[in-house]
């Protein structure tokens, strides 16, 4: 185990390093440059001046070397577009994103698993088709459309929920939750179907196994048979999916964040990309990489917790 | 279960002589899957043959006749630029269905191979492949797509390839997890004991167990690919306008959400129905391949 | 009320009481919300200060002038100005009653600092610095007088000084690395404008409160919140729920819906802006004027204006917009929608229609790429134009690019065949930057159009300060532009401003212009 | 023992399984499943392996076939060391050695029809194809007493005994030189069992097959085996020719086993002698002779000194300080 | 006295793609309180199917009750809902499954699986008590160092240990009826006898009844009160253990006993077995299912299938020629002397 941790640690360091190289060269290969240079009405001289100011006139290799040198000392540099430290810009957004991510995960995992299991139990019957249908709708209806429709219904017409923004400080818990309801619903519509579908398929696989029969023979309640004995065996694909969803939610909730004016990482990433804020892109990429490494590591550990036969370390 | 004594108990001697285990025959017994299959065939025929019958150009604009409602000359009305929505649905369907299925095939291939090899072979292969997967999850997709498509050109096939390259990691993870689980089973050991090459064991014994998950992943992958195409076209990276796809029709409708929401409804329904059909077909296929399932 | 350090919640009733006293004047108090699409940067000269920053900086800072309600430059920090005989020195008289938000007095030193240290330092690459290439130096005469020394006569100086050219505080910024001074740029900017920043939360909002010491008197509205909302549809939804009070509507697709909301009005306002298509003049194919004229005849501009822009635009023939009434003339060459004529023109210059319905010259089909950035309604319009061009036998392939890539490819590298975009400029007819041959290839002369006659007229316009004579020059320029078509003009758009009816005393200027008068706005009781 | 006839020789093999605890899976001890076993199996013989449940018989079978890596020790097959063979060499060897798994259901791929299951070895080694393969499969099924007409059914549609026979058919398919039969006939009724055992014996006669026959049914083991080994707690405690071992068990554990064998005669119902004492665990084996905690004749020596496997009589080995002489 | 369990003309089939295939037909027997019924018979003859039908678990295996009735404690089980069956299963009836590897849940430690049974049976049992009880149960079934083993997972145990865990689970619930499907196949004889001993003890102390399915004629002889012999989905013979061993009436039973390898007998080059191939359910012969392999078969046997006739109280056989089959079982030939011996 100790050697596994150590091995994994070095692999991850190498991974972060490689990702940083690839990303650095990729963003420099991409057409365009920092937005300050990319104004329609800027002149060549202005572009050159800014380029020199931002240090972009040096060769890519040299710049990468400098970036790396600072990064290993924990300094991810300053954002090219705002001048603020990259760490600060990420730190401002991260908690908001985390809030949404965690809630969405809880909602979609809990509901997704329940729906998936129900679908599996009612295989090829009306409720299975219905759940499948809902899942597909959730998957193929675009988030922006649904988001606007929900705002229209709950905020404009019924005025039950705030149309956007993060909860102001010092309001009651329920008030705070009100701000989260719509974004979480919208985010869940894209994560939930995945979980529902995988859960269903995985449950069908498990439910005919002999140990399920044993559980029934013990006189265990059908619900316990399903939600305890069978489900545990069906969890591996779902856990894998959750592992993939975490980084995706942390960085990819762009539409929800723009529609609901949510100050999250997704928009930060898009803004950074659109404005070719190289340092910010690098910073975000490193953070995302670390999260990916971490979630995948946890998922790998969880595999063998779920199924003791799995020996991936 | 009810007592089914009145059911004509089949004579013990006649049945089960040569049970037909072929997936196709079993699939045909699953009504939803069977219907879905025919629907998909139908929609492909419509989309690929339709434009030869309905020859109105999907790209010809007519500012004088925008957002028209349905009529004989425009059965589905016209869009914000006065283009025939019916024709755009037909032509857009071609691209969308190709992109959806194409990207899905690549995604499943790459993700499946990477995940299965990593999980099955373990050791350094696992380390390399899984860390590679993590790297691909971490590298910003926007720049990846931007550079790739700028270099390779924004042809539909490149778009398909880039979508696949940006989305195979999920499947890889799922397949990896499942492989880890299945490779510990005794029947896998049995195959090794027979002297099978690792690849044989992997392909014959491990992957078939994962097929249900792969089917789910692919049916979800189709929806994902269709929507990703429309998302990247919003970044100027997708199929280039004025070529229609259901995805970009949906995306364009975004502006009209307040005034002409119907614009989004048609492509939205089309995508939903196709994805739904693929899902039902997938479920049917899964059942057909499940030896324990009886098609009634 | 928030100006005082001792202000607290209990202040509010006092505010209300005071507003009742002055019942005849506009009502006091209240708050409004305005959307912006991204995090602003509180420094108008910062290379990263884009549109979303401009609308905030406009009410945080003041320039020497501002666009007048009649589009002519109006006094702001400067009370009056005059040019020397040779037009090379301009003298500006400054107000002496202006205080920075931190209480320091505003003086000529701040103007000198802003221009000499920031704008004229080429290595800084200040935003819009290229507008001031005619400016050599600014000198202080006394605390309330500055002189602008030019290297050539430039009649548009006062107009340009009111166009995102706000003055920054020397006492705060001197000696700091101004672009990276995040304490100023991102936290607590010190301006002279009617509002000052109370809180700024990245990705969420900028809350501004009335500046009690504003030199034109305390603004009527207590609090202005700029909400950072990236999505247009959210703006619309929030306008409906009265969570937003004013913004400019980017495109007309949601117009009807907004017009049906009782508490909202959508008002068209004139802007100094025109849309154009350009073909690269470095490419021999496009160098013939007849080719450019053929393009003009091929595009059905009126149909697009009527149907897509819902009539909120007029056909453009040249670069001077009709709202610059003094300078605008309608008496120029016109290009009606006439595909046949377009074809005829192409045939005149040696193109032959081939069997595919595409023109050919020397066996080479007339096919080229049309670059368009994914921005606003450009892609939509480009599709219409592409179809029109196809219809006359040009094989045009549309290429969409993200904004940044477009700039790199089309503007920086000038590596394009055809592109489209728009120009906005101060309320002054000086369009030297976009047309002068010295700005071809690297500057704002995007089509790389080089023409001596054009250069002559542009220079003459800058040198002429007498308004009547100046108008003549620019009218001539317009005629010449319309004839030569350096750009292929599309239309002069109108801006649609969505306003909550509770807002009063909003001058009938475009959205950007009216923000200069935010101190006059008030809320209906 | 004449060298030339040795098929498989294992020396001092050990197989330890770690016992892990906690989230971090710290190893807190080892199960010594096989602890220093040496054994020789001669070509053409049937070596019966009996012993207490959990004493490491299956594990021994698996390590002999290199299905699990050894902790230490060496294994030679046909004179070639195989404990350090690479994957390719192993694959070549595996054609010649097969295993019938103890748990038939778990060892059959649930998605394979039994036809596919039995066809697999032929496909892997590219031996038969098409009609010839199908004929061969039918033949094999018939020989183990299964109806070839059901070959398109899946494992779960069979009874326990039927599945076991599928496993046997698969193992004998390639006509290997050596088969480890782990409880291969335990789920069969005596008549079918007799049929299968006769089949195995016929094969042995015709092809010179060698078996390691792990079983609990002492009668069956006696019937089929030439020599028998007795395992207790990870170690071989006695090895000898079948008849001699059954008639005059030398190790007290062997004797206890044989005495406890149930008699298929209701009139002979007797109180079977139960071994007394604490059952020791392979994780924590007792000092000295591992059987001393339950041995009726144990002395103080037994508690401290571990007896080694020593020659005892003709062709017999026993690990006991006080082997039981003739009764 | 009313029997605890009465199975009456039970027929069970499996659904397949083509329809329903019958697996057992007209199976009838009774189990009285405190009695042990042994089912022996050919592999694949439907012993497991019968037992799973009694538990009504067959429903989950694509099985269908085609006819007949199961009565337990005077209640008919065949029409009961699964929900009410649940209250009987594990409580009044438990089952030990044939293949312990797949019957144990691979993701739970064996302790957890025993504890679950314990706590279902006795809701008041605390967590620690039940774990202690689980350790004790493992001890009872002869597993060494049970406190370590409870925390292990099924795949870490040997085949015999898993089987004993299954037994522990079944015993945890103190059932009135224990159905044990080959519970001792993977156990060595010393532990086997320990387990059988344990079962006998339970029978005595709690009055538990048992259905024991086994291939080990020795075990059957040792523990059972009555024996049922199955062949190809039907019961061919039933009777008191002594009667059956002494005077098997059905040719199949005779063949079965002949095939038993005996320790003390001489080693024969090949074991006697019933000649011919076993019919599969899919392909049953007409008439008597055993006739193709039967030395006594006549025309009649080919044409019609013999009914299960009652010879005397509790003694039944399904053979037209049971009177000719008067074969004394060689295994019990020497019964007299042995009995005297004891
Ligand atoms: N799920 C199923 N689908 C179809 N047929 C089945 C199924 N389960 C069992 N059978 C068939 O039913 C018959 C009876 O099986 P059962 O398991 O009861 O046999 P058994 O008497 O327990 O045999 P064994 O002693 O080998 O375990 C067998 O022929 C078997 O092939
Ligand atoms: N994968 C494993 N992990 C940990 N311990 C194991 C593993 N496999 C076997 N063991 C342990 O090794 C010992 C020997 O097991 P093995 O299966 O070889 O016994 P066996 O002699 O075959 O017993 P049985 O007759 O009951 O099948 C047991 O104590 C068992 O718990
Ligand atoms: Mg074993
Ligand atoms: Mg059975
Ligand atoms: Ni106040």
- The answer to the question of residue A3 being in a domain is no
- Burial of residue E111, with CB atoms counted within 10 A of its CB: 0-12 exposed, 13-18 middle, 19 or more buried: buried
Q: What is the pLDDT of residue B11?
A: 36
Residue A169 CB partners (closer than 8 Å, separation 6+): none
Cβ neighbours for B59, distance < 8 A, ≥ 6 positions apart: B83, B242, B243, B244, C383, C387
User: Which range is least confidently modeled, C269-278, D286-295, E208-217?
Assistant: D286-295
With a cut of 70, which residues of chain B have pLDDT below it?
Answer: 1-22, 295-296
Nearest CA to ligand 1 atom 2: D157
Q: Is E119 on the interface with D (CB under 8 A)?
A: no
Residue C12 clears pLDDT 70, i.e. is over it: no
User: Does residue B245 form part of some domain?
Assistant: yes
Q: What does the alpha-carbon distance between residue B95 and residue B79 come to, in Å, rounded to a whole number?
A: 19
Residue among D181, D261, D229 nearest E265 (CA): D261
Owning domain of residue E265:
248-307+320-332
In B, which residues are within 8 Å of C379 by CB distance?
241
Q: What is the DSSP string of B27-88?
A: HHH-HHHHHHHHHHHHHHHHHHHHHHHS---SS---GGGTT----SSSTT-B-TTS-BHHHH
Q: Round to whole Å and give the CA distance between C248 and C499.
A: 9
- pLDDT higher than threshold 50 for residue C253: yes
How many domains, chain A? 2
Q: What CA–CA distance (Å, rounded) separates E124 from C88?
A: 101
- Find the C421 Cα to ligand 3 centroid distance in Å: 79
Q: Widest CA span of chain E, in angstroms?
A: 67
Q: Tokens at residue E37, please?
A: 């019924």
**Residue nearest to ligand 1 atom 18, measured at CA:** E46
**pLDDT average, residue stretch E233-261:** 87
Residue E62 domain flag: no
Note the pLDDT of residue A186: 92
In the DSSP assignment, the letter for residue C99 is B
What tens digit of pLDDT does each residue of A10-45 get?
A: 999 999 999 999 999 999 998 888 888 888 888 888
Could E90 and A209 be called an inter-chain contact, meaning their C-beta atoms sit closer than 8 Å? no
Q: Which residues in chain A touch residue C46, judged by CB atoms under 8 angstroms apart?
A: 36
Asked whether residue B229 is domain-assigned, the answer is: yes
Burial C488-525 (b: 16+ CB within 10 A, else e): bbbbbbbbbbbbbeebebbbebbbbbbbbbbbbbbbee
Closest residue on chain B to A286 (Cα): B138
In terms of domains, do A186 and A209 share one? yes
Partners of D230 in the β-ladder: D50, D238
**Residue B136: which CATH number?**
1.10.3720.10
Question: Per DSSP, which regions of chain E are E strands?
Answer: 5-16, 19-31, 36-41, 63-72, 75-76, 93-96, 177-181, 209-213, 226-231, 234-240, 309-312, 315-317
**Residue-wise pLDDT tens digits, E91-138:** 889 999 988 878 999 999 999 999 998 888 888 888 888 999 999 999
User: Nearest CA to CA, how far is A190 from chain E (Å)?
Assistant: 30
Please enumerate in sequence order all residues whose Cβ is within 8 A of that of A206, keeping only pairs 6 or more positions apart, or say none: A212, A230, A231, A233, A234
Of D98, D149, D154, the CB nearest to B291: D154
Show the domain range for A133: 86-306
Q: Flag if B223 and A139 touch (Cβ within 8 Å).
A: yes
Q: Is residue B92, in this structure, part of any structural domain at all?
A: no
In whole angstroms, how far apart are CA A161 and each of A111, A156, B113, C258, C262?
22, 9, 46, 21, 22
Yes or no, beta carbons of B3 and E20 under 8 Å apart: no
pLDDT at E38 over 90: yes
Boundary-marking domain end, from A73, A94, A122: A73
Residue of B nearest to A305 (CA): B181
User: Is the CB of E17 less than 8 angstroms away from the CB of B19?
Assistant: yes
Ligand 1 atom with the smallest distance to the CA of E46 is: 18
Q: Residue B12 has what pLDDT?
A: 38
User: In chain B, what is the greatest distance between 2 CA atoms, to the nearest angstrom?
Assistant: 75
Mention every residue, 6+ apart, whose C-beta is less than 8 A from residue C245. C32, C33, C34, C239, C499, C500, C502, C503
Number of domains within chain E: 1
**Residue located via tokens 């678990």:** E57
Pocket residues: Cβ below 6 A from ligand 1? D 156-162, 187; E 14, 23, 43-49, 61-62, 98, 281
State mean pLDDT over A146-169: 86
Residue B233, domain extent? 101-291
d(CA E88, CA A197): 35
Please check whether residues A42 and A106 belong to one and the same domain.
no
Q: What does the pLDDT read at residue C339? A: 94
Q: For position C8, what pLDDT does the model report?
A: 36
Q: Between these two residues, D153 and C148, which has the higher pLDDT value? A: C148
Same domain, yes or no: A42 and A185: no
Q: Quote the pLDDT of residue C298.
A: 95
Q: Distance, CA E47 to ligand 1 centroid (Å)?
A: 8
Asked whether E189 lines ligand 2 (CB < 6 A), one says no
Scanning the structure block, which residue is given the tokens 């991810």? A76
3-class secondary structure, C78: strand
Considering only the beta carbons, identify the residue of A18, A144, A285 that sits closest to B140: A285
Same domain, A187 and A290: yes
Residue E181 lies in a domain: no
C163 interaction partners in chain A (CB closer than 8 Å): none
Helix (H) or strand (E) holding A176: helix A173-207
Kindly state whether residues A91 and A68 are assigned to the same domain.
no
CA of D52 to nearest chain A CA: how many angstroms apart? 25
| pLDDT for position B14 | 35
Rounded mean pLDDT, D299-312: 84
The whole-angstrom distance between C106's CA and the closest CA on chain A is 27
Is residue E46 situated within a structural domain? no
Does residue E112 lie in a domain region? no
Q: Which of D297, D298, D296, D280 is nearest to D234 (CA)?
A: D280
The answer as to whether E135 is a domain residue is no
Q: Answer yes or no: do A103 and A228 share one domain.
A: yes
CA distance B188 to chain D (A): 8
Residues A275, A191 within the same domain: yes
Identify the burial level of E151 via C-beta atoms within 10 angstroms of its C-beta, where 0-12 means exposed, 13-18 middle and 19 or more buried.
middle
Give the confidence band of C23 by pLDDT, cuts at 50, 70, 90: very low
Residue C251 CA to residue C255 CA, distance in Å, equals 8
Instruction: Give the pLDDT mean for A103-125.
Output: 93
For the cut 50, the answer to whether the pLDDT of residue D134 exceeds it is: yes
Which residue among D24, D105, D156 sits closest to A1, beta carbon to beta carbon?
A: D24
Let me know whether A181 and A254 are in one domain.
Answer: yes
Whether D189 and E245 lie within 8 Å, measured CB to CB: no
Considering the domain architecture, whether residues A48 and A111 belong to the same structural domain is answered as no
* Inter-chain residue contact E90 with A307, CB threshold 8 Å: no
Nearest listed ligand to the Cα of residue E50 = 1
The model's pTM: 0.91
Three-class DSSP category at D203: helix
The answer, yes or no, to whether residue C302 has pLDDT greater than 80, is yes
Q: How far is the CA of E261 from the centre of ligand 1 (A)?
A: 25
A79: left (phi over 0), alpha (psi -120 to 50) or beta: beta
State residue D285's pLDDT score. 84
Q: Which residue of D has its CA nearest to A2?
A: D24
Nearest C-alpha in B relative to E66: B5
Model pLDDT for residues D47-69, shown as the tens digit of each residue: 999 988 888 999 999 999 888 88
Burial B139-158 (b: 16+ CB within 10 A, else e): bbbbbbbbbbbbeeebebeb
Q: Cis before residue B242, ω within 30 degrees of 0?
A: yes
The structural domain count of chain B equals 1
Which residue, judged by its Cα, is nearest atom 26 of ligand 2?
A: E160
* Cross-chain residue pair E64–B29, CB shorter than 8 Å: no
Same domain? For A32 and A126 the reply is no
Q: Do B196 and D91 touch (CB under 8 A)?
A: yes
pLDDT at site E329: 62
Q: Shortest CB distance from B21 goes to which of D91, D121, D152?
A: D152
The answer to whether residues C341 and C348 touch, using CB atoms and an 8 Å cutoff, is: no
Angle at E180 between CA E178 and CA E184, to 5 degrees: 135
Instruction: Quote the ligand 1 centre to E88 CA distance (angstroms).
Output: 24
A192 with A294, same domain: the answer is yes
| Distance between Cα C29 and ligand 5 center (Å) | 8
According to DSSP, the β-strands at D210-214 and D178-182 are: parallel
Cα separation, C409 vs D129, whole angstroms: 62
Q: What is the mean pLDDT of residues C401-415?
A: 92
- How close is the nearest chain B Cα to the Cα of C399, in Å? 6
Read off the tokens for E252: 């199949």
- CATH label of the domain that carries residue A240: 1.10.3720.10
**Are the Cβ atoms of D105 and A210 closer than 8 angstroms?**
yes
Residues of chain E numbered 280-339 and touching chain D (CB < 8 Å): 280, 282-283, 331-332, 335, 338-339
Distance from C-alpha of E157 to C-alpha of E100, rounded to nearest angstrom:
11
3-state DSSP assignment of residue C191? coil
Any domain includes B94: no
Listing DSSP states for B231-291 in one string gives HHHTTT-SSPTTS--HHHHHHHHGGGTTT-THHHHHHHHHHHHHHHHHHHHHHHHHHHH-T
Return the pLDDT at B97.
93
pLDDT digit string, tens, across residues D139-196: 999 888 888 888 888 899 888 889 999 999 999 988 899 999 998 888 888 888 888 8
Judging contact as 3 or more Cβ pairs under 8 Å, the answer for C and D is: no
Residues with CB under 5 A from ligand 4 (ion): D 159-160; E 48, 98
The DSSP call for residue D314 is: T
Report if residue B85 sits inside a domain: no
Question: Quick one: A36 and A98 in the same domain?
Answer: no
Identify whether the C-beta of residue E165 lies closer than 8 Å to the C-beta of residue E102: no
Whose Cα sits closest to atom 16 in ligand 1?
E46
DSSP bridge partners of E30: E6
Give A202's contacts in chain B (Cβ within 8 Å): 212-213
Min mean pLDDT across C51-65, E6-20, E326-340 is at: E326-340
Quote the tokens at residue E274: 């019933």
Alpha-carbon dihedral angle through residues B27, B30, B33, B34, given to the nearest 10 degrees: 80
Report which DSSP code applies to E61: G
Please say whether the beta carbons of A197 and A234 come within 8 A.
no
Residue E273 lies in a domain: yes
E154: which DSSP letter? Answer: G
Beta strands in chain D (DSSP E): 6-21, 26-42, 46-51, 72-77, 80-81, 97-100, 178-182, 210-214, 227-232, 235-241, 310-311, 317-318
Q: Residue A173 above 70 pLDDT?
A: yes
Least confident of A66-70, A184-188, D4-8, D147-151: D4-8
Question: Atom 31 (ligand 1): residue with closest C-alpha?
Answer: D158
Interchain contact A39–E (C-beta under 8 A): no
What stretches of C95-204 adopt beta strand conformation (E)? 135-142, 145-150, 195-201
Distances (CA, A) of C421 to B150, C446, C458, C488, D27: 21, 10, 22, 11, 69
């Amino acid at each position: 185990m100790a050697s596994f941790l150590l091995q994994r640690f070095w692999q991850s360091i190498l991974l972060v390093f490689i990702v940083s190289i690839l990303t650095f060269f990729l963003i420099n290969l991409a057409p365009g440059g920092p937005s300050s240079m990319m104004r329609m009405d800027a002149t060549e001289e202005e572009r050159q001046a800014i380029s020199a100011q931002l240090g972009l006139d040096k060769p890519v290799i040299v710049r990468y070397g400098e970036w790396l040198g600072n990064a290993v000392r924990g300094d991810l540099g300053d954002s090219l577009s705002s001048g603020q430290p990259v760490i600060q810009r990420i730190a401002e957004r991260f908690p908001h994103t985390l809030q949404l991510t965690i809630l969405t995960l809880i909602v979609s995992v809990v509901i997704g698993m329940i729906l998936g299991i129900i679908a599996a139990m009612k295989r090829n019957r009306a409720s299975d088709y219905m759940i499948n249908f809902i899942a597909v709708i959730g998957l193929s209806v675009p988030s922006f459309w649904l988001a606007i429709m929900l705002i229209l219904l709950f905020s404009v017409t019924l005025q039950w929920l705030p149309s956007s923004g993060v909860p102001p400080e010092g309001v009651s818990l329920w008030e705070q939750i009100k701000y989260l309801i719509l974004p979480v619903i919208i985010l869940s519509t894209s994560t939930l179907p995945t979980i529902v579908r995988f859960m269903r398929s995985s449950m069908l696989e498990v439910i005919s196994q002999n140990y399920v029969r044993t559980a029934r023979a013990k006189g265990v309640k059908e619900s316990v048979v399903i939600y305890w004995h069978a489900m545990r065996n069906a969890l591996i694909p779902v856990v894998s999916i959750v592992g993939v969803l975490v980084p995706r939610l942390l960085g990819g909730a762009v539409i929800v964040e723009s529609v609901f004016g949510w100050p999250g990482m997704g928009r930060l990433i898009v803004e950074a990309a659109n404005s070719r804020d190289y340092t910010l892109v690098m910073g975000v990429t490193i953070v995302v990489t670390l999260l990916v490494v971490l979630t995948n590591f946890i998922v790998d550990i969880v595999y063998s917790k779920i199924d003791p036969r799995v020996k991936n370390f | 279960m009810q007592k089914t004594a009145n059911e004509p108990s089949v004579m013990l001697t006649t049945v089960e002589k040569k049970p037909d285990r072929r997936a196709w025959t079993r699939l045909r017994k699953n009504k939803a899957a069977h219907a879905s299959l025919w629907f998909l065939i139908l929609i492909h025929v419509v989309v690929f043959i339709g434009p030869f019958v309905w020859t109105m150009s999907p790209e010809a604009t007519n500012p004088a006749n925008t957002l028209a409602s349905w009529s004989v000359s425009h059965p589905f009305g016209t869009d914000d630029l006065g283009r025939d929505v019916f024709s755009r649905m037909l032509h857009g369907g071609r691209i969308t269905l190709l992109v959806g299925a194409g990207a899905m095939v690549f995604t499943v291939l790459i993700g499946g191979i990477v995940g299965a090899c990593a999980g099955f072979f373990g050791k350094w292969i696992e380390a390399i492949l899984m860390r590679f997967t993590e790297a691909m999850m971490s590298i910003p997709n926007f720049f990846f797509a931007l550079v790739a498509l700028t270099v390779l050109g924004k042809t539909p096939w490149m778009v398909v390839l880039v979508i696949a390259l940006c989305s195979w990691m999920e499947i890889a993870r799922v397949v990896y997890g499942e492989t880890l689980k299945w490779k510990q089973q005794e029947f896998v050991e049995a195959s090794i004991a027979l002297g099978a090459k690792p690849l044989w064991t992997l392909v014959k014994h491990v992957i078939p167990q994962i097929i249900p998950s792969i089917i789910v992943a692919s049916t979800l992958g189709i929806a994902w690919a269709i929507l990703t195409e429309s998302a990247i076209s919003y970044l100027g990276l997708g199929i280039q306008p004025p070529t229609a796809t259901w995805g970009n029709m949906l995306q364009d409708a975004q502006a009209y959400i307040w005034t002409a929401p119907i614009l989004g409804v048609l492509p939205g329904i089309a995508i939903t129905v196709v994805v739904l059909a693929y899902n039902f077909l997938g479920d049917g296929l899964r059942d057909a391949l499940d030896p324990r399932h009886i098609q009634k | 009320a928030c100006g005082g350090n001792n202000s607290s919640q209990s202040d509010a009733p006092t505010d209300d009481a005071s507003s009742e006293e002055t019942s005849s004047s506009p009502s006091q108090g209240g708050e409004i919300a305005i959307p912006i699409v991204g995090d602003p940067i509180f420094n108008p000269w910062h290379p990263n200060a884009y549109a979303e920053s401009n609308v905030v900086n406009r009410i945080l800072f003041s320039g020497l002038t501002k666009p007048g309600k009649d589009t002519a430059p109006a006094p702001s920090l400067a009370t009056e100005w005059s040019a020397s005989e040779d037009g090379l020195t301009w003298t500006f008289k400054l107000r002496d009653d202006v205080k920075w938000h931190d209480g320091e007095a505003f003086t000529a030193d701040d103007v000198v600092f802003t221009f000499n240290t920031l704008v004229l330092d080429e290595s800084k690459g200040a935003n819009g610095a290229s507008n001031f290439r005619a400016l050599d130096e600014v000198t202080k005469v006394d605390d309330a007088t500055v002189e602008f020394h030019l290297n050539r006569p430039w009649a548009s100086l006062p107009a340009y000084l009111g166009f995102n050219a706000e003055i920054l505080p020397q006492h705060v910024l001197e000696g700091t690395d101004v672009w990276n001074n995040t304490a100023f740029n991102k936290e607590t900017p010190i301006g002279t404008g009617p509002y000052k920043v109370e809180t700024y939360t990245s990705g969420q909002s900028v809350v501004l409160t009335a500046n009690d010491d504003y030199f034109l008197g305390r603004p009527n509205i207590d609090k202005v919140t700029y909400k950072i909302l990236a999505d247009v549809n959210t703006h619309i939804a929030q306008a409906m729920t009265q969570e937003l009070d004013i913004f400019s509507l980017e495109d007309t697709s949601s117009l009807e819906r907004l017009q049906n909301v009782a508490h909202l009005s959508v008002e068209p306002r004139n802007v100094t802006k025109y849309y154009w298509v350009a073909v690269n003049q470095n490419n021999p194919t496009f160098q013939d004027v007849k080719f450019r004229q053929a393009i003009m005849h091929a595009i059905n501009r009126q149909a697009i204006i009527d149907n897509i822009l819902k009539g909120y635009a007029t056909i453009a023939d040249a670069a001077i917009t009709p709202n610059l009434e003094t300078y605008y003339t309608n008496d120029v060459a016109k290009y009606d929608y006439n595909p046949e004529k377009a074809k005829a023109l192409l045939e005149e210059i040696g193109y032959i229609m081939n069997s595919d319905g595409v023109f050919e010259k020397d066996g080479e089909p007339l096919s080229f790429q049309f670059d368009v950035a994914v921005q606003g309604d450009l892609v939509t319009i480009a599709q219409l134009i592409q179809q029109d061009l196809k219809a006359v036998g040009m094989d045009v392939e549309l290429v969409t690019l993200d904004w940044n890539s477009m700039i790199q490819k089309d503007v920086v590298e000038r590596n394009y065949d055809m592109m489209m975009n728009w120009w906005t400029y101060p309320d002054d007819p000086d369009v030297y930057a976009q047309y002068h041959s010295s700005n071809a290839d690297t500057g704002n002369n995007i089509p790389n159009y080089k023409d001596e006659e054009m250069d002559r007229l542009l220079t003459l316009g800058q040198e002429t300060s007498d308004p009547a004579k100046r108008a003549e020059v620019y009218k001539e320029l317009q005629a010449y532009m319309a004839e030569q078509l350096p750009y292929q003009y599309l239309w002069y758009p109108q801006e649609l401003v969505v306003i909550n009816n509770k807002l009063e005393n909003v001058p009938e200027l475009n959205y950007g212009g009216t923000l200069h008068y935010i101190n006059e706005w008030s809320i209906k009781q | 023992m004449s060298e030339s006839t040795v098929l498989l020789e294992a020396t001092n093999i050990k197989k330890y399984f770690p016992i892990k605890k906690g989230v971090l899976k710290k190893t807190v001890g080892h199960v010594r499943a096989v602890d220093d076993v040496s054994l020789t199996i001669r070509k053409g013989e049937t070596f019966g392996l009996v012993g207490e449940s959990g004493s490491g018989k299956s594990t021994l079978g698996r390590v002999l076939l290199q299905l699990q890596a050894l902790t230490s020790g060496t294994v030679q097959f046909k004179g070639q060391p195989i404990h350090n063979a690479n994957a390719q060499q192993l694959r070549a060897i595996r054609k010649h050695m097969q295993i019938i798994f103890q748990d038939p259901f778990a060892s059959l791929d649930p998605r394979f029809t039994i036809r596919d299951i039995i066809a697999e070895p032929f496909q892997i080694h590219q031996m038969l194809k098409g009609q010839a393969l199908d004929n061969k499969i039918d033949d094999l099924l018939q020989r183990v007493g299964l109806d070839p007409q059901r070959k398109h059914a899946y494992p779960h549609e069979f009874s326990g005994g039927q599945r076991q026979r599928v496993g046997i058919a698969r193992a004998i398919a390639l006509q290997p030189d050596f088969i480890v039969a782990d409880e291969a006939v335990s789920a069969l009724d005596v008549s079918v069992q007799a049929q299968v055992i006769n089949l195995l014996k016929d094969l042995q006669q015709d092809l010179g097959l060698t078996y390691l026959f792990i079983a609990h049914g002492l009668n069956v083991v006696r019937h089929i085996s030439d020599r028998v080994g007795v395992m207790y707690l990870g170690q071989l405690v006695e090895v000898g020719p079948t008849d001699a071992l059954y008639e005059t068990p030398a190790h007290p554990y062997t004797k206890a086993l044989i005495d406890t064998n149930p008699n298929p005669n209701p009139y002979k119902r007797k109180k079977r002698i139960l071994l007394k004492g604490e059952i020791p665990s392979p994780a924590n084996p007792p000092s000295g002779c591992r059987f001393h905690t339950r041995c009726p004749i144990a002395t103080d020596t037994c508690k401290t000194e571990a007896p080694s496997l020593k020659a005892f009589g003709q062709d017999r080995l026993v690990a006991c300080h006080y082997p039981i002489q003739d009764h | 006295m009313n029997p605890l369990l009465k199975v009456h003309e039970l027929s069970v089939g499996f659904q397949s793609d083509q329809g329903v295939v019958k697996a057992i037909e007209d199976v009838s027997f009774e189990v009285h309180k405190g009695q042990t019924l042994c089912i022996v018979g050919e592999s694949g003859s439907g012993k497991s199917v019968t037992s799973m039908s009694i538990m009504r678990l067959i429903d989950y295996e694509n099985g269908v009750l085609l006819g007949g009735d199961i009565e337990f404690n005077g209640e008919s089980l065949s029409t009961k809902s699964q929900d009410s069956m649940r209250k009987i299963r594990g409580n009044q009836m438990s089952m030990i499954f044939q293949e312990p590897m797949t019957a144990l849940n691979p993701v739970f430690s064996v302790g957890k699986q025993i504890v679950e049974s314990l706590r279902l049976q006795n809701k008041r049992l605390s967590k620690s008590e039940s774990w202690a009880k689980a350790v004790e149960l493992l001890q009872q079934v002869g597993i060494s160092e049970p406190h370590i083993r409870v925390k292990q997972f099924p795949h870490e145990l040997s085949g015999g240990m898993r089987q004993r865990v299954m037994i522990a689970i079944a015993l945890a619930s103190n059932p009135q009826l224990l159905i044990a499907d080959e519970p001792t196949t993977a156990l060595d004889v010393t532990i086997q006898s320990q387990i059988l001993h344990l079962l006998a003890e339970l029978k005595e102390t709690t009055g538990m009844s048992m259905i024991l399915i086994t291939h080990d004629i020795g075990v059957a002889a040792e523990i059972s009160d009555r024996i049922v012999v199955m062949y190809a989905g039907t019961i061919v013979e039933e009777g008191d253990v002594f009667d059956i061993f002494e005077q098997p009436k059905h040719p199949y039973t005779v063949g079965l006993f002949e095939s038993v390898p005996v320790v003390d007998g001489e080693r024969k080059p090949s074991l006697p077995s019933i000649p011919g191939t076993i019919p599969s359910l899919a392909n049953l012969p007409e008439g008597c299912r055993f006739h193709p392999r039967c030395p006594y078969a006549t025309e009649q046997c080919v044409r019609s299938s013999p009914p299960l006739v009652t010879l005397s109280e509790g003694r039944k056989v399904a053979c037209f020629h049971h009177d000719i089959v008067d074969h004394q079982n060689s295994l019990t030939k020497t019964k007299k002397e042995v009995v005297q011996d004891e």
